[in-house]
Amino acid sequence: MISRPTASGKLAAALVLAALSLHPRPAGADPLEIDMDGTVRIGAAGTPLVVSKEGAVSIGAPVPTLTVGKDGTVNIGAPAPAFTVGKDGAVSIGAPAPALTVGKDGTVSIGTSVPTLTVGKDGTVGIGPLTLWSPGTGIGVQASTLYFRSYQNFAWYQGGVHADPELDAGGGKRLMALSSSPAAGKGTLDVGGAISGTELILGNNWQIRSNSMGSLSFLRGNTTIMTLNDGGRLEYNYEGEGLKSLARGYNSYIWYESDARLKSDIAPIPNALAKLRQLRGVTFHWNATAVDRATADSDPPADAAARAARMAALNVGVIAQDVEAVQPESVQTAADGYKSLQYRDLIPLLVQAAKEQDALVADQARQIADQRAEIARLTGAAQAQQADLAVLQAQVARLVAAAAPQIEAQRTGLPVN
């Protein structure tokens, strides 16, 4: 039974005929050789065309420049195929790695190992990594990151034409520019218009965030450092106290709600004067440890130097340990053991101590008044007694004067005239 030739067989036969017509044999050469296994070789001294028993065809010697595999795959090029048509119809151009590939589904890829341009069967276009102008500028993807590479600056322009000078909008408008200092490793963002969004993440774990309530917050990590709300209230996060407002209202550093209707368990500070006597008002200078603590978070270094210079001046205050001994609720101890106090808490203590002092002075005034009244009474009594004594003395003088003649007569024995 004679079987119908396969597609590869038809192609092989066509190639054999082509080879016979394109490669005439010299006189004396064997133009055709058939091996015992059915392999056909056409041409001697290099065998430019071979048809294997499986139907595979190779053309070219000593390295085939065109091969047709038994599965119908066609390779053109030697030693590595520069053009390949797979059995599924896929086409690859380029060697050793294809520079252009057309898949059986119509997908087109341009580029070696990693395609720089891909056109999918649905029309999707993929580009990357993309080099622009020079190797140091371009666009690429690494892991889940889309990155832009530049020697120094990035800029966004509106309108205008291309211009070579750095950050030149070419007659258009520069909407935004990110310029960098390679030596410092930092960038400066220059925005010509508005920035929209609800969160801006900065270096060193800083964030600026707005919310639906209209507040603008500055955060370090997940801790709110300062907040400005839509009512204009500025709040600052004091360690251990939470947000303190610089406007009217509860816990404000300008106004404090103090309405009696908002308070309970009202009582005067006990022994305020005795407590005040245990405090010392002192002058002092901050030492090196205090300066280091106060400037540790200063950036840039010039800010630290300015703060240290201000701290070098003579200061006045009280000692936290002294206050803690008499009013511990006004003193806070940090995690590192250093103490701080609320100077404003000394105001009520001073008020109550002044009231106690005033009461003491009033009591002493009353005592002095009572003593003065008693002295006046005693003085009046003494003066009355002195007046009575003067009367008695006058009476005695009159009696003595009246009795003088009789006393003289008795002494002399002479009759009284």
Distance CA(373)–CA(377), nearest Å, equals 6
Find out whether the peptide bond into 135 is cis, omega within 30 degrees of 0. no
Q: How confident is the model at residue 282 (pLDDT cuts 50, 70, 90)?
A: very high
Distance CA(102)–CA(91), nearest Å, equals 5
Distance CA(73)–CA(332), nearest Å, equals 84
Name the range with the highest mean pLDDT among 8-22, 123-137, 165-179, 271-285: 271-285
Beta-carbon contacts of residue 120 (< 8 Å; ≥ 6 apart):
107, 126
The shares of helix, strand and coil residues in the chain, as percent rounded to the nearest 5, are 30, 25, 45
Give pLDDT, residue 108. 66
Distance CA(354)–CA(350), nearest Å, equals 6
Closest CA to 98 of 119, 87, 114, 121: 114
* Residue 40 identity: V
Q: Which residues of 214-249 are buried (b: 16+ CB within 10 A; e: fewer)?
A: ebebbbeeeebeebbbeeebbbbbeeeeebebeeee
Distance CA(243)–CA(230), nearest Å, equals 16
pTM of the predicted model, to two decimals?
Answer: 0.44
State the DSSP code for 165: S
Residue 13 phi/psi, 5-degree rounding, is: -65, -40
Instruction: Tell me the residue ranges of DSSP E strands in 186-341.
Output: 186-191, 199-201, 206-210, 216-220, 223-228, 234-238, 242-245, 282-284, 315-317, 331-333, 339-341
Distance CA(98)–CA(110), nearest Å, equals 8
Q: How confident is the model at residue 264 (pLDDT cuts 50, 70, 90)?
A: very high
Beta-carbon contacts of residue 333 (< 8 Å; ≥ 6 apart):
339
Is a pLDDT exceeding 90 seen at residue 301?
no
pLDDT in tens, 131-187: 777 778 888 888 888 888 888 888 888 999 998 888 888 999 888 888 776 554 566
Select the more confidently predicted residue: 32 or 258: 258
Distance of CA 279 to the CA centre of its chain: 41
Is a pLDDT exceeding 70 seen at residue 199?
yes
Give pLDDT, residue 232. 65
CB contact at 8 A, 279 and 326: yes
